Amino acid sequence: MKYIRERALPHTHCPGCGNGIVAQCFLRAIDRLGLDMSRMVFVSGIGCSGWIPSPFFKADTLHTTHGRPVAFASGVKLSRPELNVVVFTGDGDGAAIGGNHLIHAARRNIDLKVLLVNNMIYGMTGGEVAPTTPKGIRTTTTPFGNLERPFDLPRLVMGAGATYVARWTTIHVGQLVASMTKALRRRGFSFIEIISQCPVRYGRNVGMAEPEKMMRWFRDSSIPLAKARGMGDKQLKGKFIVGEFADFEAPELTEEYEKLFKATAA
Amino acid sequence: MQGNEACARGAIAAGCRFFAFYPITPAGEIAEQMSRLLPKLRGTYIQMEDEIASISAVIGASWTGAKAMTATSGPGFSLMQENIGFAVVTETPCVIVNVQRAGPSTGIPSLPMQGDVVQARHGSHGEYEIIVLAPSSVQEMFTLTVEAFNLSERYRTPVIVLADEIIGHMREDVAIPEQSHLKIIDRKIPKTPGEAAAPFLDEEVAPMPLFGMGYSVHVTGSCHDKFGYRNVTDPESIDQLVRALANKIRKHIDQIARIETRCTEDAEVIVLTYGSCARVAQYAVEEARRHGAKAGFVRLISLWPFAREIVAEAIGDAKKVIVLENNLGQIVHEVERIIPAHSEVAFLPPEIIATLHRPDYVLESILKAVA
Mutation to test the A interface, candidates B45, B56, B86, most A Cβ within 10 Å: B56
- In Å, how far from its chain's centre is CA B350? 23
A179 in contact with B, Cβ within 8 Å: no
**Best CA proximity match to B42, nearest among A121, A172, A239, A257:** A257
Strand-pairing partners, residue B98, are: B72, B162
**DSSP helix/strand/coil, B102:** strand
Are residues B118 and B74 in contact, defined by beta-carbon separation less than 8 angstroms? no
What digits encode the pLDDT tens for the residues B268-306?
A: 999 999 999 999 999 999 999 999 999 999 999 999 999
Residue A52 lies in a domain: yes
Taking the CA of residue B129 and the nearest CA in chain A, the distance in Å comes to 19
List the single residue in A8, A75, A261 with the smallest CB-CB distance to B20.
Answer: A75
- Residue A153's domain comprises 6-265
Residue A145 CA to residue B45 CA, distance in Å, equals 46
Residue B277 CA to residue A21 CA, distance in Å, equals 61
**Inter-axis angle of helices B74-89 and B51-62, nearest 10:** 30
Is the C-alpha dihedral spanning B56, B60, B63, B67 positive or negative?
Answer: negative
Residue A1 lies in a domain: no
Contact A79 B49 (CB under 8 A): no
List the single residue in A62, A82, A266 with the smallest CB-CB distance to B60.
Answer: A62
Taking the CA of residue A53 and the nearest CA in chain B, the distance in Å comes to 10
The pLDDT tens digits along chain B (371 residues) read 999 999 999 999 999 999 999 999 999 999 999 999 999 999 999 999 999 999 999 999 999 999 999 999 999 999 999 999 999 999 999 999 999 999 999 999 999 999 999 999 999 999 999 999 999 999 999 999 999 999 999 999 999 999 999 999 999 999 999 999 999 999 999 987 665 579 999 999 999 999 998 999 999 999 999 999 999 999 999 999 999 999 999 999 999 999 999 999 999 999 999 999 999 999 999 999 999 999 999 999 999 999 999 999 999 999 999 999 999 999 999 999 999 999 999 999 999 999 999 999 999 999 999 98
Is the pLDDT confidence value at A23 over 90? yes
Are residues B109 and B129 in contact, defined by beta-carbon separation less than 8 angstroms? no
Are residues B60 and B126 in contact, defined by beta-carbon separation less than 8 angstroms? no
What torsion, rounded to 10 degrees, do the Cα atoms B77, B78, B83, B86 define? 110
What architecture does CATH give domain B258-370? Answer: 3-Layer(aba) Sandwich (3.40)
| CATH number for position A33 | 3.40.50.970
- ipTM entry: 0.97
pLDDT at B195: 55
Taking the CA of residue A124 and the nearest CA in chain B, the distance in Å comes to 14
Taking the CA of residue A84 and the nearest CA in chain B, the distance in Å comes to 9
B17's enclosing H/E stretch is strand B16-21
Residue B174 CB partners (closer than 8 Å, separation 6+): B1, B6, B9, B138, B139, B142
Spell out a b/e string for A5-26, using b for 16 or more CB atoms within 10 Å of the CB, else e: beebeeeebbebbbbbbbbebb
Taking the CA of residue B22 and the nearest CA in chain A, the distance in Å comes to 13
B170's enclosing H/E stretch is none
B99's enclosing H/E stretch is strand B94-100
Numbered ranges of CATH 3.40.50.920 in chain B:
258-370
Residue B14 CB partners (closer than 8 Å, separation 6+): B67, B145, B146, B148, B149, B150, B182, B184
Residue B54 CA to residue A72 CA, distance in Å, equals 9
Residue B17 CB partners (closer than 8 Å, separation 6+): A79, B38, B41, B42, B43, B44, B66, B67, B68
Residue A60 lies in a domain: yes
Is the C-alpha dihedral spanning A230, A233, A239, A242 positive or negative?
Answer: positive
Mutation to test the A interface, candidates B63, B81, B225, most A Cβ within 10 Å: B63
Residue A205 CA to residue B260 CA, distance in Å, equals 65
Contact B44 A257 (CB under 8 A): yes
Number of domains in chain A: 1
Is the pLDDT confidence value at A259 over 80? yes
Residue A51 CA to residue A53 CA, distance in Å, equals 6
Are residues B301 and B162 in contact, defined by beta-carbon separation less than 8 angstroms? no
Pairing of strands B344-348, B94-100: unpaired
Numbered ranges of CATH 3.40.50.970 in chain B:
3-181
Q: Mean pLDDT across chain A, nearest whole number?
A: 97
Spell out a b/e string for B134-172, using b for 16 or more CB atoms within 10 Å of the CB, else e: bbbbbbbbbbbbbbbbbbbbbbbbbbbbbbbbbbbbbee
All residues of chain A having their beta carbon less than 8 Å from the beta carbon of residue B215 are 60
Domain B3-181 sits in CATH 3.40.50.970: yes
The Cβ-side half-sphere exposure at A80, using a 13 Å CA radius, reads: 22
All residues of chain A having their beta carbon less than 8 Å from the beta carbon of residue B214 are 38
List the single residue in B58, B82, B220 with the smallest CB-CB distance to A75.
Answer: B58
- Sort B103 into a burial class: Cβ within 10 Å, 0-12 / 13-18 / 19+: buried
The pTM assigned to this predicted structure is 0.98
Contact A7 B82 (CB under 8 A): no
Residue A48 lies in a domain: yes
Pairing of strands B94-100, B158-164: parallel
Taking the CA of residue A185 and the nearest CA in chain B, the distance in Å comes to 18
Are residues B3 and B140 in contact, defined by beta-carbon separation less than 8 angstroms? no
B236: left (phi over 0), alpha (psi -120 to 50) or beta: alpha
Is the C-alpha dihedral spanning B293, B299, B303, B309 positive or negative?
Answer: negative
Residue A167 lies in a domain: yes
Contact B40 A265 (CB under 8 A): yes
Instruction: Tell me which amino acid residue B304 is.
Output: W
Instruction: Tell me which amino acid residue A184 is.
Output: L
All residues of chain A having their beta carbon less than 8 Å from the beta carbon of residue B62 are 75
Contact A63 B39 (CB under 8 A): no
A75 in contact with B, Cβ within 8 Å: yes
What digits encode the pLDDT tens for the residues A204-253?
A: 989 999 999 999 999 999 999 999 999 999 999 999 999 999 999 999 99
List the single residue in A55, A83, A100 with the smallest CB-CB distance to B212.
Answer: A83
A12 in contact with B, Cβ within 8 Å: no
Instruction: Tell me which amino acid residue A226 is.
Output: A
A8: left (phi over 0), alpha (psi -120 to 50) or beta: alpha
pLDDT at B197: 75
